[in-house]
Amino acid sequence: MDRPTGDTDEVRELLTQFRRWLDDPESSPGIVRELVALDRDRLAAFVRLHSTDERLFAIAMLIRRAHDALSSAPRDAVTMSRFGTLLCSGDLPGKLQHEIALEGDAWKEHAAALLSAGDYSEADRACIQAASFYGVVAAEERFYERTHLTLIQAQVAHFLGDSERGLQLADRAGATLARFFPTKKRDHLRARTIYATILVASQRYDEGLRALEECAEVARRENDTETLASLVNNIGYVYMQLGNLKAARECLSMALQGFTSLGFKSELPRVHGGLARILTQEGRYNDAVSEHYKARAAYLELNMPVVAGEVTLRIIEALFAAGRLNDIPSLCAEAVETFTRAHLPREAAKALSYINVSARQRTLTADEVQDAREFFQRLQADPDEQFDSMKEEGGD
């Protein structure tokens, strides 16, 4: 039997791994990244191996997992949602309404992921794609999702410098949610918060601050702890930027309490990280180390070893600042052991081993740790980043 071009054993093997990933994302963690990198022929062959139902199920799963990863791992969300859009291949005329709507959903999620990751131009393009697919389906179809798309567009417009359009879109989305989705109060609050934020960021302080107060008041009345915890968390970061560390600590501690009581594990490490940064700025290095450890444990629990590895390097930096140089080698050795168990990607493990060897030989410098930490940050953005190049350029 003749096989179509590209329909090779390799593609079949990828499908097996992808099916495993759909059942359990831990089983084949890198498979979606591999699939996104497929060339056109092999991707087409991969799509052909699916029945329509299986393909639609896979797209829905990719959208859901991308959505879950939005705040904790935006780059993963970008990869997953991107692959979702790639699986939606085929000509529109042959597609059913719900397939087209799903394609709109995939692009909307991709836009949200790109917004989270800070790729605003790409996010704008993804919004246009999503809107065009939603535009093909019946007017009442995906009305709620379209309103969310409007909110994403509002934020993207603001970041691309068109705050006036951002305000109009956020206002419109808020009004739509209030009128047509009265039970979705949290969504309405989110829209109003975005509106208020853009106002403040556009120097319209009076209106913006009043809108923000109204949001907090409505959230308090509605017992919406999630919105309030998010608000105080964000305000904590603003205070931090202003150098008001006391107020920042108060807000972040409050956010931590709120998120903990809600069981929002994905929000916790960032708050711990923020508190650690405040403590570091206050010169309370030992307390900062404790907070970093909590953040590291939380990231490990969320199965985010690369970010946890970056936090480990922040701990080493704090130990340098605290003058606790004797504690560094044992921490490095422990980190290598911990992250080996946590399946840290190869390049990241290499970087950590390098730091460990330097620490054991007592030649480790704060600069090297900072470089390694920056490498970990780049690795989160680009999983293909190589540690060797850093060593060559950095000189060891």
Partner 1 sequence: MHMENTFGMQLKARRELLGLSVKKLSKFSGVSRRWIVCAEESRNISIEILKKLMQAMQMTGVVIAPGMTVGASPTAPDTASLAAAVEDIGRSAAFAKQAADRIRTFTLGVGKSVPKHTPVDEGFNERAARLVTHFTEHVRSLSDPEKLQRVEKAVSSFLRPEEDAPRTAKAHPRRRRSSA
Judged by CB under 8 A, the chain residues 116 through 135 that form the site for partner 1 are 116-119
- Helix, coil or strand: residue 158: helix
Indicate which single residue of 327, 342, 345, 350 sits in contact with partner 1 (rule: CB under 8 A). Answer: 327
Q: What share of the chain is helix, strand, coil (3-state, %, to 5)?
A: 80, 0, 20
Instruction: Give the residue, chosen from 1, 93, 223, 346, that forms a contact with partner 1 under the rule CB under 8 A.
Output: 223
Q: Which of 396, 395, 394, 356 is nearest to 375 (CA)?
A: 394
Stretch that binds partner 1, among 6-14, 85-93, 95-103, 209-217 (CB under 8 A): 209-217
What would the x/- binding string for partner 1 be over residues 138 to 177, using CB under 8 A?
-----------------x--xx------------------
- The footprint of partner 1 on residues 66-85 (CB under 8 A) is 70-72, 74-75
Interface with partner 1, residue 286, by CB under 8 A: yes
Q: Which stretch binds partner 1 (CB under 8 A): 36-44, 91-99, 131-139, 283-291?
A: 283-291
**For the CA atoms of 158, 382, 270, 251, what is the dihedral angle to 10 degrees?**
-30
Asked whether the beta carbons of 127 and 86 are under 8 A apart, the reply is no
- Contact yes or no for 237/274 (Cβ under 8 A): yes
- Decide: 321 and 285 in contact? Cβ < 8 Å: yes
d(CA 343, CA 260): 27
Each as own residue / partner, the long-range contacts of residues 388-392 (CB below 8 Å, 24 or more positions apart, any chain) are 388/350, 390/351, 391/354
Q: Which is nearer to partner 1, 87 or 151 (CB)?
A: 151
Binding of partner 1 by 378 (CB under 8 A): yes
- Nearer to partner 1 by Cβ, of 49 and 322: the residue is 322
Distance CA 84, CA 36 (A): 9
Q: Which stretch binds partner 1 (CB under 8 A): 83-91, 101-109, 127-135, 208-216?
A: 208-216
Of 32, 228, 300, 349, the residue at the interface with partner 1 (CB under 8 A) is: 228
Question: Please, what is the minimum distance in Å from the beta carbon of residue 128 to partner 1?
Answer: 19
CB nearer to partner 1: give 42 or 270.
270
Q: Is there binding between residue 198 and partner 1 (CB under 8 A)?
A: yes
Q: Is residue 241 a contact point for partner 1 (CB under 8 A)?
A: yes
Question: Is residue 225 close enough to count as binding partner 1 by CB under 8 A?
Answer: yes
**Residue 286: exposed, middle, or buried by beta-carbon count in 10 A (0-12, 13-18, 19+)?**
exposed
Residue 374 touching partner 1 (CB under 8 A): yes
Confirm or reject binding of residue 231 to partner 1 (CB under 8 A): yes
To the nearest whole angstrom, how small is the minimum distance from the Cβ of residue 86 to partner 1?
A: 19
Cβ-Cβ contacts under 8 Å for 203 (sequence gap 6 or more): none
Shortest Cβ distance from residue 71 to partner 1 (Å)? 4
Q: Does 396 engage in binding with partner 1 (CB under 8 A)?
A: yes
Tell me if 251 contacts partner 1 by CB under 8 A. yes
Q: What is the dihedral angle through the alpha carbons of 172, 175, 178, 184, rounded to the nearest 10 degrees?
A: 20
Q: Coil, strand, or helix at residue 107?
A: helix
Does 205 bind partner 1 (CB under 8 A)? Our answer is yes
Nearer to partner 1, 99 or 119 (CB): 119
Q: In the 8-state DSSP scheme, what is residue 36?
A: H
Q: Which of 112, 125, 188, 192 is nearest to 152 (CA)?
A: 112
